Amino acid sequence: MSALIDYMRAPDRLYARVDDEAGGRIQALKRRIKFRIRWFLYRRAIRQLFSGFIALGLDAALVKAPHTLIKLLRSYIDCRLDVDQRVQAQLFHYRWAIARWGARVVESFLSSESRSLWRYTFDNGSCELILCKATRMAREGELEIRLVYSGVVLESLAFSVIPDPQSPQEACVWVGGVQGALEQRELTKALTQQLARLRPTTVLVIALKAFSVASEVKRIYAVGDNAHVFSRYRLSLRQRRKRIYDQLWREMEAENLDGACWVFSPKLSLRSPAEVKSQKRSELQRKNRWKQQIFDEVACQIQTLTAIPQSELALTGSALDAQVQP
């Protein structure tokens, strides 16, 4: 019998695996009560989610990643999604990933394994882009790209692959959040200088564009200030949103759709040296070389994850939903 079915029958066993009892007895009790209330209210959606995971053959892997099973109980990737939309978004991501990469790769991510997408060693330290399961940003996406410099995570970007709002038959990349280590300003400054003034956020967006191109995804969406998962909280959880997302995506030349989310193309755009003054052209050329190198290497690494030939990758949107029904 699947362990997920066991969790359905005895949800307290699942709760014991996802809560660390931090904050004292009173806080732990409050969390347990909230969990039970949400579990009761969303029991139909939980059953649908668990059935979908079992149909995908991920039940054994998800026992090792219990936090993945309870994301639908609270706001997930976009605060405007209701519980049924959260279930569909989460299942679509794993169906797409299995169709694209195969079950073994997906299970490896769920087991907290990671993939190096790009690495460069400078005189005073190394820089690396890593693709892994979203952990600290779990409610903001299923996957996370981390920028690591000298052994420190400087910034992370969480995203999922879900149906494209403008073309539901296709997949899109949905960015749920970008978070950085504010206390690592000196390291951030040092890396920015090494990369010809490329900011860590820009490096992450380049990596995400390469991921999208290699995965044949046409559009990238990103939450704005009013759609972030913590934007509707009034107290402590709201403080976890440390970025002004509307400003961030505007700087990335994204298009605002509805005042709550942004969209941009995965195509890499490089500024022409003819657009800048002659004394700044050499620096722009270095910056463009870094952008192209990062983009090409990340795209190459993502392509190595592909499990089946491109011609057979038709399992997105309704075709994929028709194959695996929860």
| Cα dihedral sign, 248-93-127-289 | negative
Could you read off the pLDDT tens digit of each residue along the chain, which spans 326 residues? 467 888 888 899 999 999 988 888 999 999 999 999 999 999 999 999 999 999 999 988 888 899 999 999 999 999 999 999 999 999 999 999 999 999 999 999 999 999 999 999 998 889 999 999 999 899 999 999 999 999 999 999 999 999 999 998 899 999 999 998 777 889 999 999 999 999 999 999 999 999 999 999 999 999 999 999 988 776 555 455 567 899 999 999 999 998 899 999 999 989 887 787 877 788 889 999 999 999 999 999 999 987 444 444 343 333 333 333 32
Residues 130 and 245 in one domain: yes
C-alpha angle 105/107/108, rounded to 5°? 65
| Distance (Å, whole) CA 169 – CA 199 | 35
First to last CA, the chain: 17
Question: Long-range contacts for 142-149 (Cβ within 8 Å, ≥24 apart)?
Answer: 142/68, 142/90, 142/93, 142/94, 143/109, 145/117, 145/204, 145/207, 145/208, 145/211, 147/200, 147/203, 147/204, 149/125, 149/187, 149/188, 149/190, 149/191
Number of domain units in the chain? 2
pLDDT in tens, 140-182: 999 999 999 999 999 999 999 999 999 988 999 999 999 987 7
Residue 213's nearest CA partner among 299, 118, 315 is 299
CATH code for the domain of 269: 3.40.630
Q: What is the pTM of this model?
A: 0.89
| Distance (Å, whole) CA 13 – CA 208 | 36
Residues 69 and 175 in one domain: no
Residues 173 and 101 in one domain: no
Residues 105 and 125 in one domain: no
How many residues would you count in the chain?
326
Residues 297 and 279 in one domain: yes
Alpha helices in the chain (DSSP H): 3-9, 11-18, 24-41, 43-55, 59-63, 83-101, 103-110, 185-194, 200-214, 245-251, 281-303, 317-323
Residues 233 and 90 in one domain: no
Residues 52 and 120 in one domain: no
Domain interval for residue 251: 113-308
Q: Are 264 and 254 in contact (CB under 8 A)?
A: yes
Residues 98 and 45 in one domain: yes
Residue 198's nearest CA partner among 277, 274, 206, 246 is 206
Residues 102 and 121 in one domain: no
Residues 183 and 239 in one domain: yes
